[in-house]
Structure 1
């Protein structure tokens, strides 16, 4: 028996089977003659064979199947045509054969997610497929249901394989921005936003795609960025990408561009500045870049310094202070009679002296209206869900879980004030501390003339100048005197002391 069968016999047999199967399916189709997109059983055998051939990359077989034109117009349950399948295959010849077999009217047809064949090719970073589709006139500005255009998808091309909206950020990431360049050459608009308002430049900056960002910067309209309400500076800072940040700064983007109100409302803290994003990330490199470029550290409802203090990050706090962070800010959430920053430094002398050296209003901490009188009794101790307006320092430092620190904190603070009066409540607690004898001596004796002169000079300078150390360089004073006025002998951080826990 001859077991040899020719390829022609196989093809003829397959064609016969297809015709029989198609005839059976036609009998059971609804009267409308339309296949149900929810049921694969209504897909023709021709469609299934075409898709199988596309996925296996059999060019010769696919060429023979091009005569079944209607099957190339069929879509599966998620709206994928054979052309969509071909667009995500590595073999460009498969795409070329499929495109020629497909009607012109389906070249821009979308899946149920709104993805055209070009969109899918860009998403999968298949540059040859992208180039071929663009050469044949596919629209580079069509958006999917999320509002992403092919260009925006290309700029966002680095992600996880399971995420259909970001899987293929590879096109514009680190070493492969070619798809972005190609799309721009064929008329893609860099100023078309997605539904959220973000532009391709925002996505590239947020993902850290430096090469794609270089391509997008010169073709992005500043007016479009302004309309979006957010700067790519924010995105680079939020993503902790200092190289992208540096590129944007060099390109002239404003480091003090503030988030639009409609963007800010999505954040509980109503942040506004790019600096706030960088500080929140603890990203020293980005913070340095922004401050060096002129970023203002006191623009956000929650002060950047407060964030750094809560982190306990000495370098970040020192950096912000050297660039004018306001040590005397007041927190809106928990308003205190004394500047709010102090509450984060009560257990840390290094951090405490940082604030005091830069002009913290120490005298306000000793400003108690009760004086020697007995304080009113409080039914509850400490901070509660109900904010007590204008809480005094003496009320805070004498709490049961903080009073053991009172002697050390007050002793440090006395280095920055003239004669002050200790109220009855604070005095009662201090008298139980080991440092009371030293504190009592300072309080009951005249301060040295040298100390008083330093306080006078600092008062004449004003807190704004104390927050700007560069101002001191313009004063015609000896270096030793400048150091004394700035309390350099108490700058523990500069002395290399990086832990000041009592």
Structure 2
């Protein structure tokens, strides 16, 4: 049975009068002895109808013995009135003994419903009447503050931070501030920061507000978090050393990347057991991220990255087609830029290991890359690699390529 729709042939005459706000007809029916507690297919009584319609006068005529009756979904008349923003009806029902904190079947309540609907006057009234503010609701265990932030209602958030636990976690340890960062609610984020909320809180998977804001591309939120002490070098993953800069690089959020590069520890670009953000830019197929990171000095031969099964960014981008994801293909100028940077590194070191990125490059790809380089200027270690591969018959120069 569908409890979301009320069918006309199941509604009593009393309920129909209450729904339409026809007090005169309602009183006549009551005087005739018509029942006030009859229910429709949703479990609604005439009081539910009057409360949902915002008819305070009809509510006054019928609320006495039925004020906390619940529908099949667990909704009281007070809940329905709050959900629809009828503050005068809510006031009447509370005076008649309505349970202000009565929960529905899905653990919602009058205050949560008012917050969700953006009914600020109802929220203010319920708070003044002592409504419970820190109880968790819905399957995700959000509080009213979580919901207000998600909705982006700054006025209600400003009301709630005065009485709520700003660090209240949901079932995934997500706090209201994390929600603000995730959905780009910059004004709500500012209110929560001013209220003392932790900008470096970590949720169940270690993600921080700065990481999620970087991933979603909320530049203003990123800058606000950084300006108030958010740590750009906090590890944000249980699986590998992920930083906010990695998320910005992978999803191509250039303005966020510009904010993070100056404050991120560059050890992630070269130290063992770390991951260069260049890997993630290539993996995400974000050529603008690649170009910016290269311009800022991030190495295309950063480190052997066992976490992502890559020996270097350039090697990954140059891997044979069957092992590549099409979205990782770079534009010609990016590939050339990466090769040039790699060769410059080779020229400044005597360690042949710096050329290891090319040992496993497919032969055709290698010839393609070498088209952009004067072979006579190749450093000795690189030439040694080519001679070795030619001898092993793992690479054959293209007959039309110049040397």
Q: TM-score range by the shorter chain?
A: 0.7 to 0.9
Unaligned runs of 5+ in 1: 1-38, 157-168, 172-176, 262-269, 369-386, 446-502
Deviation at 1:256, TM superposition (A): 0.9
- Cα offset for 1:242? 0.8
- Residue 218 of structure 1 is matched in structure 2 by 162
The one of 280, 285, 288 aligned to 2:215: 280
Preserved contact between residue 327 and residue 358 of structure 1 (Cα < 8 Å): no
The answer for the alignment partner of 1:184 in structure 2 is: 127
Q: Does 1:118 align with 2:78?
A: yes
What is the aligned-residue RMSD (CA, Å)? 3.8
Measured after TM superposition, the shift of residue 325 of structure 1 is 6.0
Displacement of 1:329: 6.4
Provide the C-alpha distance between the structure 1 equivalents of 2:53 and 2:286, rounded to a whole number of angstroms: 61
Establish whether residue 130 from structure 1 lines up as the match of residue 79 from structure 2: no
Indicate whether 1:98 and 2:62 are aligned: yes
How far, CA to CA, are the matches of 1:232 and 1:136 in structure 2? 34
Determine if contact 1:155/1:200 at 8 Å carries over to the other structure: yes
1:292 and 1:400 mapped to 2: Cα distance?
44
Residue 28 of structure 2 is matched in structure 1 by 64
Q: Does 1:170 align with 2:118?
A: yes
Change (3 A) 1:249 1:414: farther
For 1:450-465, what aligned pairs fall within 5 Å after superposition?
none
Distance 1:357 1:412 in 2: 10
Alignment of 1:291-306 (within 5 A): 291-298=226-233, 299-301=235-237, 302-306=242-246
Give distance in 2, aligned partners of 1:337 and 1:58: 71
Larger Rg: 1
Per-residue displacement from partner, 1:388-429 (whole Å, max 9, x unpaired)? 845355643543557976543121345567225335746972
Unaligned runs of 5+ in 2: 1-5, 322-328, 382-403
1:391 aligned residue: 311
Q: Which residue in the other structure is 2:253 paired with?
A: 313
Q: Which residue of 2 aligns with 1:408?
A: 337
1:58 Cα deviation from its structure 2 partner: 2.1
Q: 1:11: which partner in 2?
A: none
Give the conservation status (yes or no) of the 8 Å contact 2:281–2:287.
Answer: no
Displacement of 1:252 in angstroms is 1.0
Residues 336-365 of structure 1, C-alpha deviation per residue, up to 9 Å, x if partnerless? 997362462598886446435656356646
Identify if the C-alpha distance between structure 1 residues 108 and 323 changes in structure 2 by more than 3 Å, giving closer, same or farther. same
Moved over 4 A (4+): 39-43, 222-228, 335-338, 345-350, 356-359, 361-365, 387-390, 392-395, 400-407, 414-417
- CA 1:243/1:42 → structure 2, altered by over 3 Å: closer, same or farther? closer
Inter-CA distance 206–149: structure 2 relative to 1 (3 Å threshold)? same
> Normalized against structure 2, the TM-score is what?
0.74
User: Residues 147 and 327 (structure 1 numbering): CA distance in 2 closer, same or farther, change over 3 Å?
Assistant: farther
- Aligned residue pairs total 351
Matched position secondary structure for 1:328? helix
- Contact kept, 8 Å, 2:15 with 2:46, in 1: the verdict is yes
Deviation of 1:146 after TM superposition, in Å, equals 0.9
Q: 2:298 maps to which residue? A: 360
- 1:408-427 pair list within 5 angstroms: 408-414=337-343, 418-419=348-349, 421=352, 422-423=355-356, 425=359
